[in-house]
Structures are given as C-alpha cells and as structure tokens.
Structure 1
Amino acid sequence: MDDRDWLILHTLYKEKNITKAGQALYISQPTLTKRLKQIETEFGVKIVNRGIKGVQFTAEGEYLAKRAEELLDIFQITREDIDNFNHYVVGTLRLGVSNFISKYKLPGWLQSFEKQYPDVEFQVETGYSKQIYQMAYNHDIHIGFIRGDYNWPGEKELVFEESLCIASLKPIDMDELPSLPKIDYQTDSLYKHMTDNWWAERYPQPPYVRITVDRGDTCKEMVLNGLGYAILPSLFLKDCPHVHQVPLQTKEGIPLTQKTWMVYHKSVEELNFVKAFIDFIKESVTASSKKHS
C-alpha cells in the first residue's frame, strides 16, 4: 500500500459513500471500488459492506481507517520536517477560525500571504471560539483565531479589537429597548455572557426576543430588513453606514469591546511556513495600528 491507498480509506471512512469519496479524491467510482478490493485482497479482510445507507465499515475496516488517519498525519509531518530542513516555506497550514473571522478577515489575509508564499497550502477549520481553542490546545491545528479573553497557556497575540453596539435600521430610544423586538443569534458563551451582563445592569426585565437565528450574518440581514434590533460587533456593520449604531458602554462609561486573538503553541514556530504566517499576521497588526493611530 502507498499513501494514496491510506487516503482512500480515510476519505471513504469520513464520507461513508463511494461516490462522495470519489469526488473528494477526484477519481472515478469504478476506480475507487477496484482499488478498495485490491486493498481488501492485500490484507485478506473485508473492509466495507455496501448497503442502502452507503458503506458500513467492518471492525477490521474501521481499524484500518483509523490507522490511515494516523499514518497520513505522520506522512504530512514528515514532509513538513524535510521541507523545514531545506528552509523552504512550503507546507499545509492548518488554521482554526470563527465563522465571523472566516468571512470578514481570513480571505484578505490568505490572499496577501499567498502572494509572498505561493507554495503554502491551507486547511481551514471553522467553529465557535471555544471549539477553535480546543483544536489549538490539542495540536489539531497550527494556529487558532479566537474571540474573547480565553485563558490560553501558549503564545497569544492581539489581532484586533472592536466595539459592540446596538444596531437598528431606525433610531432607537434606549429607555424603550426592552419593549422593542430583538434579533438574537447563537454565539460564543463569553460574548453572550458579556452582553447579558450589560443588559442586566440596565434593565430589570429580559429583552423581547422576537427572532432567534443561528449565525451573526443572518442576524445582520434581519436588522437590514427592519425586523428588529441586534447587538453586533462593529465589524459586522462596516459596510452599512445607513444602520443606526449605539456603542455599548459599562456603567463607568468604558466602551464594551470584543478582542480577537491569534493563539498557538511555541513549538509550531519551528515550521518555516507556520512561522512565516505568524510573522505576517504580526506585521499586519502593526501596520493596521500605525494606520489608525
């Protein structure tokens, strides 16, 4: 077997479908099926059973699929180490970002970085900051971008800070806020805790939540269509000058803000392509700070 065979097992185990696995690997279904049978012959075991619900892995097949994931990781690390010995900036950079960062920041970063280092490839995982934190902590990714002040044990770099605000298509009287329809969305627990505390300090009753959605972008669109107000980070509203915004403040008059951090373990800097991206982000942060100072 070669690494392509292990990749077939890994992909098929992930997709649980011959057609989808073939599409992911850019090989035809007959070719994949033929190669799978050859792998079964080589090991002398039945790897999968095909049924109405797709492929079902046998006990032996599941064992091989899990070993495939481990071996593919080893192959990848070995390639990265060899490239690193030769001082090449080449490899697959594994990033973890929130959905928010993946839309508003990451595409621009990757576009600029790619111009400097065209041989670096990217593997991007998205999720809530708590999930990204866990992936970075477990070394499942090289670098994570998390929003909120998590207690991170490794290297940590402030990327940017944005204000939180009440956003509405129409002007809002803050005294009437509890009776106005609010659009809520699922978000990180730290962010929700911060805004809930802000509310509790000012109003004796809970907000009138008219609509709840699963993403901040959807929430923003609801606001733009006049369906209610929402509490949103200012970056969401960068392209919406017609939206009325009321920045949130503590009782002491301190602006309520949300910080975004780049987190990683010190050991990943030993890889040239990871170190290059870390330095790139740091330089971007410095340039942005000078621009706005």
Structure 2
Amino acid sequence: MEDRDWLILQVLYEQKNITKTAQALFISQPALTARLRNIEEEFGIKIVYRTSKGVHFTPQGEYLAKSSADMLFTLRKIKEHVTDMNSSVAGTLRLGASSYFTMYMLPKLLKGFKQEYPHVEFKLTTTWSRDIFNLVHNQDIHIGFVSSDYGWQSQRHLLFEEPICIASASEINLKNLPKLPRINYQTDSLIKAQIDKWWRENFSEPPSISMEVDKLSTCKEMVVNGLGYGIMPSMIVNNIENLHKIIITDKEGNPILRRTWMLYHEDLLEMNIVSAFVHFVKNMDFPKLFLS
C-alpha cells in the first residue's frame, strides 16, 4: 500500500462518505473507488460496502482504517529520521500555536528562521492552547506555543509574560465597572477562568456584556473606538496612545499574568530541524518582536 492509501482509509473512516472523502483529498470519486478496489485486492478482503445512508466498514476494513493513524505516524517518523540523517537543517517543521501568538508574533518568527535556514518548510496548526497541548503530547506536531499552563511534564520554555489589563477609550472608575458595557471575546478556558475569578473576588454582580466577538483583535478595535471596555493581555494595547489601561491584580496586589510557553518533547531535540528552531526561539526578544 502507498502512503496515500492509508490516508484514504483514515479520511473515509472519519467521513463515512465517498463524495466527502474525495473532496477532502482533492481526488475524483472514480479514482478513490479504484484505490479502494486495489486495497481490497491486495489484502483479499472486502473493506466497505455502500448504502443509501453512506459507507459502512466491514470488520476487516475497520481494523485497517483504525490502523491507518499508526501507519501514517510511523511513516512520517521514518521520513523525518531519514531526512535528519543529513547534517543540514532541512525538512518540514510541524508547529501548533494559539491564535493570539499566530497573529502577532509567529509570522515574524518564521520569517527570521526561514531566512537563516532556507531549506525548511512549515506545517502550522492554529487552535486553542488546550488543543495545542494535546497535539504536542501525541507528537502530531514537533513544537507548540500556548498561552496557558496545562501542566506540561516534558520540555517547556517561558517566552514572555504580560499583565492582564482593563482597556477603555475613556477613563473609568473600577467601582463602576459592573454598570459599564463590556466587550467579551473568545479565549482559552484557563485565561477566562483567571478573569472570572478576579471578577468574583471584586464584584458581587455580573458584568454588563454588550458585545460577544470572536477574536481578541476584534475586541481591541471595538475598545479603541469607544464601544466599551475589554479585559485583555496588555501587550496588544501597550502602543495605543490615549487608551486607558488598568492592570488587574490578585488579593495580594500581584498583577495577574498571562504566560506564553514553547512546549516540546526532549527526545525530538535529536532532530536537527527541531534543535535549530528551539535554539532560535530561545534567543528571541518577544516583546521587541511584538512591537516591530
């Protein structure tokens, strides 16, 4: 079987539909059907049967489909190891990052690394920090950048930390905060829990949410235009003049911080491409990179 055959089985098992699988893999339905027939002939079994409600796997086909993830993982590791036997830094680096880090820092970081190592390519996944954590744990990616601490037990490096602040276009009194319009945005659950805990410690009534937006950057623009206040990491608004900021603190008066980490497995440092990237990242000045 070819690598693509294992991928076909994996996607077909997820989709349970020939048309959707063909579309996902950018191949025609006849070509997909032909590949399935070849796999069946190779193993001498029936893999799937089709009904009006979609594709159903035989027991043998289900076993092959469930084995496809392991096979694809093994094949990828073999290819990476063979590539790494060359002393040069080359190949594909698989990364995962939170949306915040991806938007404001990762493009400049990857550009700098690419200039130093032109034979490196990137495969990037952008999602929530909790999902990045799982991707690193399962070695679906080499390195992850997260904005929350989920208790990573292998190698991690603190990239930077920033206070969380209340930002508004006009000066506000904290006592009046529950009555003022607040702009909420989707964020990682641990960051949200930090902010919610601070609120409960300081107010006996819920906030007055005027807007629910999808991204932190959208929230910032709403705040800049005077449509309400937002509670957000301070770096995103530090360079905006005439914007009022109040750092929120815990009961002991310490600023509540959001920390951004780089996560990876130590054994992956044996790969030239991973070792070079980790070293490159550790030497970056991220607050300066953010403002550049």
1:53-78 CA-to-partner distances (Å, cap 9, x unmatched) read: 65444433332122222111111111
Letter in 1 for 2:66: K
More deviation, 4-13/95-104:
4-13
Deviation of 1:124 (Å): 2.5
The aligned residue for residue 169 of structure 2 is 169
Q: What do the CA deviations read for 1:90-132 (whole angstroms, capped 9, x no partner)?
A: 3332222222222222222222222223333333333322332
> Relative to structure 2, which stretch is displaced further, 110-119 or 76-85?
110-119
Between the aligned partners of 1:213 and 1:109, the Cα distance in structure 2 is 27
Q: Which residue of 2 aligns with 1:216?
A: 216
Q: Which residue of 1 aligns with 2:131?
A: 131
Structure 2: which 5+ runs fail to align? Answer: none
Q: Retained in 1: the 8 A contact 2:159–2:286?
A: no
Judged with a 3 Å threshold, the aligned counterparts in structure 2 of structure 1 residues 53 and 272 are, in CA distance, closer, same or farther, namely: farther
> What is the CA–CA distance in structure 2 between the aligned matches of 1:92 and 1:61, rounded to whole Å?
31
Structure 2: how far apart are the matches of 1:11 and 1:113? 33
CA RMSD of aligned residues (A): 3.0
| Structure-2 separation of matches of 1:13 and 1:69 | 11
Counterpart check, 1:235 vs 2:235? yes
Check 1:3–1:137 CA distance in 2 against 1; reply closer, same or farther (3 A cut). Answer: closer
Letter in 2 for 1:194: Q
Which whole-Å CA distance do the structure 2 matches of 1:22 and 1:139 have between them?
27
Contact 1:80/1:90, CA 8 A, preserved across alignment: no
SS in 2 for 1:140: coil
Residue number in structure 1 paired with 2:247 = 247
Bigger Cα displacement from structure 2, 82-91 vs 208-217: 208-217
SS of the aligned residue for 1:157 comes to: strand
Residue 113 of structure 1 corresponds to 113
Q: Match for residue 62 of structure 2?
A: 62
The residue identity in structure 2 corresponding to 1:208 is S
Deviations 1:190-244 (A, max 9, x none): 3223223332333333322333345434433443554422101123336754543
Matching residue of 1:85: 85
Tell me, yes or no, if the aligned pair for 2:161 and 2:260 is still in contact at 8 Å: yes
Kindly tell me: are residues 104 and 254 of structure 1, through their superposed partners in 2, closer, same or farther at Cα, counting changes over 3 Å?
Answer: same
> What is the CA–CA distance in structure 1 between the aligned matches of 2:125 and 2:141, rounded to whole Å?
8
**Matched length:** 291
User: TM-score by structure 1 length?
Assistant: 0.84
- Aligned partner of residue 89 in structure 1, secondary structure: coil
* 1:137 CA drift (Å): 2.8
1:48-59, aligned counterparts within 5 Å? 48-50=48-50, 54-59=54-59
- Deviation larger for 85-94 or 173-182: 85-94
Q: In 2, Cα distance between the equivalents of 1:287 and 1:233?
A: 12
1:275 and 1:178, CA in 2 relative to 1: closer, same or farther beyond 3 A? same
* Equivalent pair of 2:105/2:286 in contact (CA under 8 Å): no
**Displacement of 1:159 after TM fit?**
0.9
